Amino acid sequence: MKHLTRESWLEAGVKALTPLFSKVGYAVPLCKVSCGFASTGTRSGHIGQCWSTKASADGLNQIFVSPALEDAVEVLDTLLHELVHAVDNCEHKHGKEFKKIATKLGMVGPMRSAGAGPALKEVLKEIAVKLGAYPHARLSVPKKVATRAPRPRARCVQCGFTVPMLREFLHYGPPICPKDRVEMEALGDWDAI
């Protein structure tokens, strides 16, 4: 089946995944599903998020699947994980109740990143074939790059007391040593104001 939008494909994905929950005794609630970044931002690495019915004015769970995903099976795997949260209405995060539902479905791994086990992965592949191509091109999300430069510091030439400096205060110059009452020497890159 050809879907024109990501949301139409994702909604069809919810319908296709619902029988998996029914087989193990759980009902998937009505929910809205969309392609979008988690509330933690683009660099958090989160590839899915489910919002509780309590957070939504219409009383429905809201599920977001990251635009960084494009593989249909991976999208279904993420959607399945988020639907477990919807079944639980986000009450128990990744605790015992979540684990109970997830393992009955065939999900494995640490619950924060639980994904389809081998048998469930095959089922997801079959569902992906029935749904057709996921109408989305992956967005390249820049990885968070840690600053490698050491922080500017100040050191007392008499006693050796060293203090890290915040960039916002560098324009005041080196502070006075609390012990020796002399101006401390600047260490590191003080020009990065």
pLDDT tens for residues 142-191? 666 666 677 899 999 999 999 999 888 888 999 999 999 999 999 988 88
Question: Tens of pLDDT along 80-124?
Answer: 999 999 999 999 999 999 999 999 999 999 999 999 999 999 999
pLDDT at 42: 61
Residue 136's alpha-carbon distances to 67, 72, 77, in angstroms, are 8, 10, 16
pLDDT at 66: 92
Over 60: is that where the pLDDT of 141 sits?
Answer: yes
Q: Which of 8-17, 41-50, 51-60, 151-160 has the lowest mean pLDDT?
A: 41-50
At residue 86's C-alpha, the angle toward residues 83 and 91, to 5°, is 135
Question: Tens of pLDDT along 24-37?
Answer: 999 999 999 999 88
Q: What are phi and psi of 50, to 5 degrees?
A: -120, 130
Q: What are the percentages of helix, strand and coil residues in the chain, rounded to 5?
A: 35, 15, 50
**What is the residue extent of each domain of the chain?**
6-131, 153-187
In this prediction, what percent of the chain has a pLDDT beyond 70? Answer: 93
Joined together, the tokens standing for residue 139 give 């967005």
Q: What is the pTM of this model?
A: 0.73
Rounded CA-CA distance 43/57 in Å is 28
pLDDT at 107: 97
**6-131: in CATH 3.30.1330:** no
Concatenate the DSSP letters of all residues of 24-85 into one string.
TT--PPPEEEEE---TT-TTS---EEEE-GGG-TTS-EEEEE-TT---HHHHHHHHHHHHHH
